[in-house]
Structures are given as C-alpha cells and as structure tokens.
A and B are shown apart, each in its own frame.
Chain A
Amino acid sequence: MGVPATAPGRRLEHGRVGETVPRLDGIPKVTGEFAYSSDLFAAGMLWGHTVRSPHAHAAIRAIEISEALASPGVHAVLTHDDVPGKKLYGLEFADQPVLAIERVRYFGEPVALVAAEHPEQARRAAEKVRVEYEPFEPVTDPERALEQEDLHPERPTEEAGYYDDPRPNVVRTIVIRHGDPDTEADVSVSGYYELGSQDQAFLGPESGLAVPDGEGGVDVYVATQWLHVDRAQVAPCLGLRDEQVRIHLAGVGGAFGGREDLSMQIHGALLALHTARPVKIVYSREESFVGHVHRHSARIWMEHRARRDGRLVCVRARILLDGGAYASSTTAVTSNAASFACGPYAVENALVEATSVYTNNPPCGAMRGFGAVQVCFAHEAQMDKLARELGLDPVELRLRNALAPGDVMPNGQRVTGSLPVAEVIERCAALRVPDPEELPRDPIRLPGGSGNVTRGEGVKRGVGFAIGFKNVCYSHGFDDYCSARVRLFPNADGALAAEVHCAAAEVGQGVTNVLAQVARTELEIANVVLAPHTTASVDSAGSSSASRMTWMASGALQAACRAAREELARRGGSLASGQEIDVERVYRHPQTWPLDPDTGKVKGERAHVAFICSAMRAVVEVDSELGLTRVVWIGTAQDVGKALNPQAVEGQIEGGTAQGLGLALMEEIQTRGGLITNASFTDYLIPTALDMPPLAIELVEEPEPDAPYGAKGVGEPPTVVATAAIAAALRDATGRELARVPVRPDDLVGLTDGRA
C-alpha cells in the first residue's frame, strides 16, 4: 500500500524559537512530492461518491438503489440503513445524520454513498440512485425562522446550559447585561448591518482514503483540523471502539475552520468496511461548496451612546446569525459574537443580545475570525459614525476608548495579561500612507485593472481605519488540552536525537515548524525529527482553531522536552546504544468558565484565556461610474505576543488580510430558496494576485504572561479587521453608508460629485 507519510521526516539544520525558519515541508511542497489527502493511493482502491439532496428541505419517501448497485464497476451503494452505529453525529451536538433518514434539511445533504472502480462509474451510478422526495417550503429567512416550523423539534442544544429561549429554531440565545443598559448620553448613533455568508474556499477539496485493517477496524487518512475529535465522531457511527479507528493526517490543502466538521471521514470508512477495499473520496469544487460549513451570515443592530468628549457610555447590540441546517459550532460562534460585540473598547454599560437560528440554508460553523468578524464590521462602522457625529478624528476616538488590562468586559471578565490595544492603534496610525499615484498610469493600477475601463476619470480615493480583537484558545469552560510526546535516543554515531509526536494538525499555518523550533530550543540538540500526525501514537492535540495551536503545542512540547531533559540528567546526561527516554506531557491553558445563562456574565474569573488585537488602515480607489474598486495599500499593526517565526507570522497576516478583503469586496455564498447558486470559482470569487495590495506590517510584541514564550496566536485578527477597514475606506471614498458586505458595484455607482 502506498500511503506516503506527510511529515517528511527530514532533519532540521537550524532554527530555534524566535527565528525565521523555512518551512519544514517547503521542499516537498515546491517539488510536488507532498502527499495531500487527494493524492493518496492504495492497491485495489475503489472510488466513493456521495449522493446529495437537490432540495433544501424535503421528506424522503423512498430510496431505490438496485439500478445503481447493478451498474458497471459498482461494489456498494449504502444508505442510512447501512450505518451500523449511531445515526447522528456533530462537532458539538449530534444533530446531523450520517446519511439522511426521513428528511433533508439543506441543499447537498448526503443521502447515499456509492463505491466503484472508477470515479466516473461512481458518479454515473450515483445518478441512478432513485430518491423519492416530497419537497417542503424551506425556512430561509433567519428572522422568520423564529416563527416557523421547528426544523429540529428535538432541540439538540436545549440541555447545554444556555439561556432558555422557547422560540422555534433557536440554536442559542445569549443576553449580556452590563452596568445599566438604559444609561443615556450626550450623543447616540445607530445602524443596521448585514454580512453575507463567506466560504473558506481552501484550495484542496475535501478528500481522503479509508483503509480497512482486515480485523474490523479502519484507518482513515484525511485532511482535518483535529484528528481526535474526528475519531470521537467517527467511531460511534461505525459501531467501533476508539482504538479500532485510527485517523491519520494527510496533507491539508488549507482549512480556515472549514475542516473542523467531518466531511468524508465516516462515509469513506463505511464504504471501506462494507467492501473490504480501500476507498478514496475526492470532492469536486462544486461539491466542496456543500461539503463544509460556512461563515455565518449576520444581521446586526447597534446603538452607541457617548459623551461629547468621545467616551463610550453605553453600547446596545442585537445580533442574529443564520446557523443553517445543523448546529456545528454555531453555539460558540454566537458566544464569540456576543463577547466581542463592543469591540476592544472599554464601556461601562451594555446590552448585547445574540441569537443564532436553524434554517434550511447551508450549515454554518467555524471560519477564521469565528463571530468576531461579523461584529467588528458593525462596531467599527459605528465608531466612524460616532467620530463624524462628534467631529473627532476616528483614530483619536478609538484611542480614547481603547480597552486595556484592568478593564472589565461586558461579560464580566477583567482583562489580564497582555492586550496592547492603544499601542496597535498608535503603531498602525504611524505608518506612512502612500501618496496618491499620479495619472495617467498603467490601467493595471486602476479600478477594473487589465479590463482597461478607465483612465482615472471618476476615480475617488478613500482611507479607512479599523481595530478589532478576539480570543486565543477555546473559551467558556471547555476542557482544552494538548498532548505532546518526545523520544530521546542516541543516533548511530552516538549523538542524541529526538523524535517529536504531536497530533497538532499542520493545515498550512506552520505548526510543524513551531514544534521543531520548540524541541530544538528546549533540548539544545540538532537532530529533531517529527513523527507523522496520528491518533495512533499520541493523545489529542486539540484543534488547529481559535489561533490556539502554536500556544498549546508549544506548551505541551516544552513540558515534554523539559521532562525528557530532567530524565536525561538523572541518567548522567547520556544514553547508551539501545536506551531511550520516551515521555508524553499534557498541557492545559488557564481555566475558563461558562456564562451564566440568565445574566450573560462569566461564572468565574475568566470566560476567555487571552486576547489578540489588531489595527488596520486601508486605502482604496473607487471608479464611481462603474462601481469597480482597487485596494491600493494596507498598513497594519498586530499584537502577536512574541513572533516565534517572524516570516510565518507575516504570512498569516498577509493571508488573513486577503480573506477579509474577499468578504469586503467579492465573497458571498449566494442562495435562492436555500439552494447555492454560485458553487464554483467561476461564480464565487476569491482575491487574485491582482486584487491584493502591498502590505506594511508592524508586529507588536508584548509577551503574554500565561503563554509559552509569550506567543499568542496570529491567524485570525487580520481577517477580523480587514473587512471593516476596507469598508471604511470605501465609505470615505464614496460617502455612502455601505452597511452590507460584500459591497457590490451597484452600491458604489452613480455618485454625482463623489460625495452623493
């Protein structure tokens, strides 16, 4: 069987914590050798295909598989009847059928599986699976959902200790009351904001290979963000014990939250166990758009009350998130949106109400920024409105209200540790904004680019500024930990070598480099090898999510390495041939507590472990005749704690900014009656090389006292602020309210004198 290991097993030549280190997997990735989850192969392998619902909401009256089963090359056709264990699964709440049972609740929901010798045979056989549907009126409006038929009458999230909201289709409601929410002030500004649903659009489609072990168990090689939580969902549905299911990380072609939930894992394992053959499943791009959860679309109402001098007195916010058909991580996205609704500002009075609902729209869950993106767009628009109302400079207004350690957040948590909001504002504001480029110029440097649609007439320039923040690590009492194991042994030449086992998913962010850097730093030895990421040899690392993996993996491996060194010292500082030291350590971050369901206040010292903040200034040009845009320049200052690998940190900031730019200007999952109408890269646009401006980046390093090496996560803040900063710049250029993203050309055209 030719399943290549993804950890290349190469030795590191240099690179400790704090140094720019080239990627450990860089060479296999540039040569094409690196094995992604869609590149795997095994002798005798079959191809799996998923039969999916063409309806957003329907009853299933009958499923007829005989014609499909008799098709050429077909080895199996499976339905919910063939799921041997639990029929439902889910990341946090088991509310989603492995294969639809009596009802489908979203467009593209899996209904049946086919395995055949050639992928085309599997696709054609899938078309012959006859499913008799009785379509229902889909629930598609998140506000009306609160009055319509309950899509999950069993209410899967009801017993989770949340605020008791009896309305239909509520996934979670949070109400945070802080101080006196009725406090009035000198001025008040309010607004209503909307964000469309964004797709992670990772380039490597969902895919993997399931290999039966011949003894009733199965190995699944898959691109995922958390191996052990996959196993915890897969094994019960297969009716197997945990140890009979081994999940191995195959090469991950990007994740951004979209691989937190399962895709092909259970399906591939079912087909493999049923046929006793390895089964590979690779989604097409169209299928990928229904194969993972998306960023929640949001409707947000906000009112900001402030004194004449700009100090915030009271913030009132109502947030409605469309969770789509199944719960996924919606409850946590809801609490994040509520937590960060007031932004990184000190405010003594607030009323924040956040509700998420089930609908028949595509399921939503984790995406980079996780609830903070949506509220940042709203609170930053509000702060600009307030600045205008008060005649204050927008940067100055933000500085006057900047949250700082010692302040109490609306959820009752006192900020501790590092949170340099004022410093990121000042460092970003100090970046020199480039002067307007002169005309005439090459059309590639004008809105519309190589489309060559303007010589500069009607082009308006605008500058925007935004700040935002979010949590690092899992919050609200989740028992979050990471395990790492290190094995010390003498090489053939007698020199000490180390092998590191950690299940931390390398999704492109560079955590394998961090692991190697930590091992080299702590062990002070050159020969460090990383073992493959798997559930088979080490305990859980937790998820590559919530900007947590660097912090958590560093903590676990640092502890394991220090224990190994102590043991080595006990043995006199050296190991003879054949001897080894093998230690595994578990790291837990400081404890957090859940919110009280009635008051929205944290029940203990903290709801969140720590915070990361960022400030961004964006310069745009808008062709007011055509509504086309060009982002000219972006400057940002980001709180990183300590940059463990500065080049990789910059890469996260640049890439995270691009995703925020996408949401500001072009990215939205379009639906009609719950059906996705733009499931391709032809119709769902993501930023290209021509869309991205140059970035000026300032790293603000104020070590986080609770974090190993002081390092915070870095992946999410740029995505949180970029959408807000670019929208602010577009408002500056056009004078329009632009209360919805992505901003469309129609929203920008028709300016009379540039200030309509």
Chain B
Amino acid sequence: MKIELLVNGERRDADVWPGESLLFALRERLGLPGSKNACEQGECGSCSVLLDGTLVCACLVLAAQADGHEVVTVEALADGGRLHRVQQAFVEAGAVQCGFCTPGLVVAAANLLNRISEPTDDEIREALSGNLCRCTGYAKIFDAVRLAASLA
C-alpha cells in the first residue's frame, strides 16, 4: 500500500507492506536507519521518534498508521552541521559507548527538555526509564541531560 507522510519536514511517500512497522519503513524504505531495531516490541526505546510531536516507539506504530502524519527522527535533531544541545552534551559527557541506544535516548531527552526545561534528577531518571542502555549504567547519560539543560 502507498503511504504519504511528513518526515523530518519533508513530504515522503513509500510503498509498504500493510504489516510493516513505521520503524521498518523509516529504516528500510526511507533511508533513515538512525532509529534503532533493538527489541521491536516497545520495551527498549531505541526507536523513539516523535509522531505528531508525541514521543513513541516507532516499532509499535504501523507504517500505515503514520499515513498523513508528521514524524521527526534523530536525523532531524541537528540543525545542519550544528548539533542539538542534547547531542552535544551526550558527546561531551561520555554518554555514548556502543551507541545503539543513543538515537532513542537523544530523542527522548530532547523531548524531556522541551517539556521541562530544568528537570530534577528524579524527573530525568523517570523520563528515561523507557530507554534501555546496556553499556553505560546511565550515569553519564544523566550527566549529559543535566549538561544539556544548562546549555539552553
């Protein structure tokens, strides 16, 4: 089936199988592999994207459901060559190791700072508790979010 959606500000169409997830369509049909395929059952947050401004797991949304809607992925966070402050902070704070969870965490953290400009430590932990990371133990991810908040 044909779908048409606004992805990262650009109108795109794709010919998808009706059972395909939005994650598969983004990664395999639209050339946007930044959103990651770690569990594909909504447990790990590695595929976090914004669907009409709401943080969702792209693996739990059918591509067909996104027809006519707006999607923002990690690829659109940086402004041209200029990193989003959350991205900059992740690099500086050492919040990246293998990096497979990073795109999802960066999108989730940016969404958090949009909602709460100066989150407390508990608010950061709760907001990111849907994003699994196996490498870092989260400590430097918390550092990165605090640093990003201070860069506003």
Docked-complex contact B126 and A444, CB < 8 angstroms: yes
Is A336 close to B, CB under 8 A?
A: no
Docked-complex contact A35 and B33, CB < 8 angstroms: yes
Docked-complex contact A26 and B91, CB < 8 angstroms: yes
Docked-complex contact B138 and A680, CB < 8 angstroms: no
Docked-complex contact A282 and B125, CB < 8 angstroms: no
Docked-complex contact A203 and B40, CB < 8 angstroms: no
For window 125-141 of B, CB contacts with A under 8 Å fall at: 125-126, 128-141
Q: Which of A252, A648, A656, A689 contacts B138 (CB 8 A)?
A: A689
Q: Which of B46, B75, B94, B142 contacts A203 (CB 8 A)?
A: B46
Docked-complex contact A282 and B37, CB < 8 angstroms: yes
Docked-complex contact A507 and B134, CB < 8 angstroms: no
Docked-complex contact A31 and B83, CB < 8 angstroms: yes
Docked-complex contact B91 and A23, CB < 8 angstroms: yes
For window 66-122 of B, CB contacts with A under 8 Å fall at: 73-75, 77-78, 83, 87, 90-92, 94, 96-103, 106, 122
Is A297 close to B, CB under 8 A?
A: no
Which of A34, A41, A445, A657 has its CB near the most chain B CB atoms (within 10 A)?
Answer: A34
Closest chain A CB from B104 CB (angstroms) = 9
Q: Given the known inter-chain contacts A22-B94, A30-B106, A33-B34, please indicate yes or no for A692 contacting B43, CB distance below 8 A.
A: no
Return chain A residues, CB-CB under 8 Å to B75: 31-33
Docked-complex contact A651 and B140, CB < 8 angstroms: yes
Docked-complex contact A508 and B99, CB < 8 angstroms: yes
A14-53 to B contact mask, C-beta < 8 Å, 1/0? 0000001011011101111111101101000000000000
Docked-complex contact B129 and A205, CB < 8 angstroms: no
Docked-complex contact B38 and A655, CB < 8 angstroms: no
Is B36 close to A, CB under 8 A?
A: yes
For window 644-694 of A, CB contacts with B under 8 Å fall at: 647-648, 650-651, 654-659, 680-682, 686-690, 692, 694
Closest chain B CB from A136 CB (angstroms) = 32
Docked-complex contact A202 and B134, CB < 8 angstroms: yes
Docked-complex contact B91 and A655, CB < 8 angstroms: no
Is A594 close to B, CB under 8 A?
A: no
Return chain B residues, CB-CB under 8 Å to A205: 37-38
Number of chain B residues whose Cβ lies closer than 8 Å to a Cβ of chain A: 57
Q: Given the known inter-chain contacts A22-B91, A30-B106, please indicate yes or no for A690 contacting B44, CB distance below 8 A.
A: no
A429-453 to B contact mask, C-beta < 8 Å, 1/0? 0000000000000101100001000
Is A577 close to B, CB under 8 A?
A: no
Q: Given the known inter-chain contacts A32-B34, A204-B36, please indicate yes or no for A692 contacting B87, CB distance below 8 A.
A: no
Docked-complex contact B91 and A36, CB < 8 angstroms: no
Docked-complex contact A30 and B41, CB < 8 angstroms: no
Docked-complex contact A445 and B122, CB < 8 angstroms: yes
Cα–Cα distance between A686 and B73 once the two chains are bound (Å): 25
In the complex, what residue of chain B is closest to A648 when comparing beta carbons?
B94
Is A128 close to B, CB under 8 A?
A: no
Docked-complex contact B99 and A29, CB < 8 angstroms: yes
Docked-complex contact A692 and B139, CB < 8 angstroms: yes
Return chain B residues, CB-CB under 8 Å to A120: 17, 19-20
Q: Given the known inter-chain contacts A31-B83, A120-B19, please indicate yes or no for A657 contacting B98, CB distance below 8 A.
A: no
In the complex, what residue of chain A is closest to B140 when comparing beta carbons?
A651
Return chain A residues, CB-CB under 8 Å to B96: 23, 25-26, 29-30
Cα–Cα distance between A33 and B97 once the two chains are bound (Å): 15
Cα–Cα distance between A33 and B137 once the two chains are bound (Å): 23
Return chain B residues, CB-CB under 8 Å to A659: 134
Is A254 close to B, CB under 8 A?
A: yes
Q: Given the known inter-chain contacts A118-B17, A120-B17, A285-B39, please indicate yes or no for A254 contacting B100, CB distance below 8 A.
A: yes
Closest chain A CB from B84 CB (angstroms) = 8
Is A641 close to B, CB under 8 A?
A: no
Return chain B residues, CB-CB under 8 Å to A203: 36, 38, 44, 46, 98, 100-101, 132-134
Docked-complex contact A681 and B132, CB < 8 angstroms: yes
Is A404 close to B, CB under 8 A?
A: no
B36-74 to A contact mask, C-beta < 8 Å, 1/0? 111111011010000000000000000000000000011
Q: Given the known inter-chain contacts A26-B90, A444-B126, A654-B137, please indicate yes or no for A508 contacting B97, CB distance below 8 A.
A: yes
Docked-complex contact B100 and A651, CB < 8 angstroms: no
Q: Given the known inter-chain contacts A23-B94, A202-B98, A681-B43, please indicate yes or no for A442 contacting B122, CB distance below 8 A.
A: yes
Docked-complex contact B102 and A253, CB < 8 angstroms: no
Cα–Cα distance between A32 and B90 once the two chains are bound (Å): 13
Return chain B residues, CB-CB under 8 Å to A689: 124-126, 128-129, 131, 133, 138, 141-142
Return chain B residues, CB-CB under 8 Å to A25: 96, 99
B12-46 to A contact mask, C-beta < 8 Å, 1/0? 00000101100000011000111111111101101
Cα–Cα distance between A650 and B139 once the two chains are bound (Å): 9
Docked-complex contact B137 and A658, CB < 8 angstroms: yes
Closest chain A CB from B108 CB (angstroms) = 10
Return chain B residues, CB-CB under 8 Å to A32: 32-35, 73-75, 103
Return chain B residues, CB-CB under 8 Å to A285: 38-41
Docked-complex contact A680 and B99, CB < 8 angstroms: no
Return chain B residues, CB-CB under 8 Å to A332: none
Return chain A residues, CB-CB under 8 Å to B40: 284-285
Docked-complex contact A252 and B98, CB < 8 angstroms: yes
Is A481 close to B, CB under 8 A?
A: no
Q: Given the known inter-chain contacts A657-B137, A682-B43, please indicate yes or no for A254 contacting B128, CB distance below 8 A.
A: no
Cα–Cα distance between A202 and B39 once the two chains are bound (Å): 10
Which of B27, B126, B128 has its CB near the most chain A CB atoms (within 10 A)?
Answer: B126
Docked-complex contact B34 and A38, CB < 8 angstroms: no
Docked-complex contact B91 and A692, CB < 8 angstroms: no
Cα–Cα distance between A31 and B84 once the two chains are bound (Å): 9
Cα–Cα distance between A60 and B96 once the two chains are bound (Å): 45
Docked-complex contact B122 and A444, CB < 8 angstroms: yes
Return chain B residues, CB-CB under 8 Å to A38: 33, 36-37
Cα–Cα distance between A20 and B46 once the two chains are bound (Å): 27
Return chain A residues, CB-CB under 8 Å to B37: 38, 205, 282
In the complex, what residue of chain A is closest to B27 when comparing beta carbons?
A39
Q: Given the known inter-chain contacts A509-B97, A689-B125, please indicate yes or no for A654 contacting B136, CB distance below 8 A.
A: yes
Q: Given the known inter-chain contacts A445-B122, A508-B98, please indicate yes or no for A31 contacting B136, CB distance below 8 A.
A: no
For window 504-520 of A, CB contacts with B under 8 Å fall at: 507-510
Cα–Cα distance between A255 and B93 once the two chains are bound (Å): 22
Docked-complex contact A650 and B41, CB < 8 angstroms: no
Docked-complex contact A30 and B38, CB < 8 angstroms: no
Which of B20, B87, B94 has its CB near the most chain A CB atoms (within 10 A)?
Answer: B94
Cα–Cα distance between A659 and B141 once the two chains are bound (Å): 16
Q: Given the known inter-chain contacts A203-B133, A657-B137, please indicate yes or no for A36 contacting B36, CB distance below 8 A.
A: yes
Docked-complex contact B137 and A253, CB < 8 angstroms: no
In the complex, what residue of chain A is closest to B77 when comparing beta carbons?
A31
Return chain A residues, CB-CB under 8 Å to B92: 22
Docked-complex contact B36 and A254, CB < 8 angstroms: no
Q: Which of A22, A450, A658 contacts B126 (CB 8 A)?
A: A450
Is A395 close to B, CB under 8 A?
A: no
Cα–Cα distance between A36 and B128 once the two chains are bound (Å): 23
Cα–Cα distance between A82 and B19 once the two chains are bound (Å): 32
Is A201 close to B, CB under 8 A?
A: yes
Docked-complex contact B78 and A31, CB < 8 angstroms: yes
Cα–Cα distance between A659 and B134 once the two chains are bound (Å): 8
Docked-complex contact A30 and B43, CB < 8 angstroms: no
Return chain B residues, CB-CB under 8 Å to A189: none
Return chain A residues, CB-CB under 8 Å to B141: 689
Return chain A residues, CB-CB under 8 Å to B139: 650-651, 654, 692, 694-695
Return chain B residues, CB-CB under 8 Å to A35: 33
The 9 closest A-B pairs by CB, nearest first: A32-B34, A508-B98, A29-B99, A253-B100, A654-B137, A658-B137, A681-B43, A26-B91, A39-B33
13 contacts between A and B (CB under 8 A): A31-B75, A32-B32, A32-B33, A251-B99, A254-B97, A444-B126, A445-B122, A508-B97, A648-B94, A658-B136, A686-B134, A689-B129, A694-B139
